[in-house]
Amino acid sequence: MKSLFAWRYYVALFVVCAAVGILIGSLGQMTIDNLKCRSTGYDSEHFLAYCRSQMYADYEHGALFYGLEPSVIDNIRRAKVLFVGSSKVQAGFSSKAVRDYFNSINIPFFVLGFGYGDESTFAQALLKKWNISPKVLVIAADPFFSEKLSPPGRDAIEGKPAFLWRLLLKSLFQRVHRAVCRVASDVCAESEPTIFRSARDGQWNWIGPYTEERSVLIDGPPQLAISQEELATAQKLGANFLDQIGLDRRCVVLTGTPNSVLDSTGIAAALAASLGTSAIFPAVDGLSTLDTVHLNLASAERWSGQFVRALGPILQKCISESAPSHDGMAGIATAK
């Protein structure tokens, strides 16, 4: 009997040692493959959301879908104001103006947009998975409501073993990467464009680590719209999305981020009218983008600052705490 117990013990020990060896070896290879990712954006709040490396690429879809980053899901659930959309939302609302505004009224928020052009399909799956129910939902609806699903979004939802294994390695890699580049900076090339994301409020840190600030002036109204068929599809999917959220539609705010390509305002306005939601379209002159699509940082500060101030009456109506009026001067909210 003792010999059988000893045999099982040694087999179990062998399996554990083999598994640890595989993990260490795989993590070592992941580290070697991705030492060119930039490390300058790490801190107690930010994690490595994306690196332009074939062996790393996107992390944030899986990290948020499976809750791998400490406190992220708690912060999304705690957020009373949630911003959803594509990377245009991340560019438009990852600003000091947004953070300062909500901090000043003590209302938690989270910017929950995603790269790779993901729209409502992934967002809907994420919100449903974690039973997320904000008090105010801001949607960059241009058109957002679609059946489109990016490869990272699909991988996260399907959750196949190979994807989950690499996701775990990416999570562990960040801890190693941060330490290695801090103590042996000469081995970290810091050459691959990289996006860091705040676990506290979801904002991207990407001007600098991913792209330099550029200024492509929006010098006229964009001409590209969507067809009536596409609009009808967006209306149907939008109704389903909002029904699932179960939020008073007066507390859902549709908008479109300014750009030089797509008539975001026209599309969002049409959807807001058909879906019975609120809508905000700040009129700000002289805005510029990084690439004709994403607002640059200077313009994002101006545009998003106007947006959140215009959001005041909706906050008053939809959140139990007092919130500022349209000019942003009346009242300071007290979070419960």
When pLDDT is averaged across residues 92-107 and rounded to a whole number, the result is 98
Residue type (1 letter), 324: P
> How far is it, in rounded angstroms, from Cα 192 to Cα 209?
8
Residue type (1 letter), 140: A
SS3 226: coil
pLDDT tens for 108-136 read: 999 999 999 999 999 999 999 999 999 99
> How far is it, in rounded angstroms, from Cα 84 to Cα 171?
24
Report the DSSP beta bridge partners of residue 77: none
Q: What percent of the chain has pLDDT over 90?
A: 79
- Per domain, the residue ranges of the chain are 46-318
> How far is it, in rounded angstroms, from Cα 244 to Cα 159?
23
- Please tell me the pTM assigned to this model: 0.89
Q: Contact 126/82 with Cβ under 8 angstroms?
A: no
pLDDT tens for 182-214 read: 998 889 999 999 999 999 999 999 999 999 999
Class of domain 46-318: alpha beta
pLDDT reported for residue 325: 45
Position 283 pLDDT exceeds 80: yes
> How far is it, in rounded angstroms, from Cα 85 to Cα 141?
7
pLDDT reported for residue 328: 41
> How far is it, in rounded angstroms, from Cα 321 to Cα 107?
9
When pLDDT is averaged across residues 263-291 and rounded to a whole number, the result is 96
Task: Please name the residues in contact with 289: beta carbons below 8 A apart, sequence gap of 6 or more.
Answer: 214, 216, 218, 258, 259, 260, 295, 296, 299
pLDDT reported for residue 221: 81
Q: Is the peptide bond before 282 cis (omega within 30 degrees of 0)?
A: no
pLDDT tens for 51-69 read: 999 899 999 999 999 999 9
Residue type (1 letter), 125: A
> In which element (H, E) is residue 120 found?
helix 120-129
When pLDDT is averaged across residues 139-160 and rounded to a whole number, the result is 96
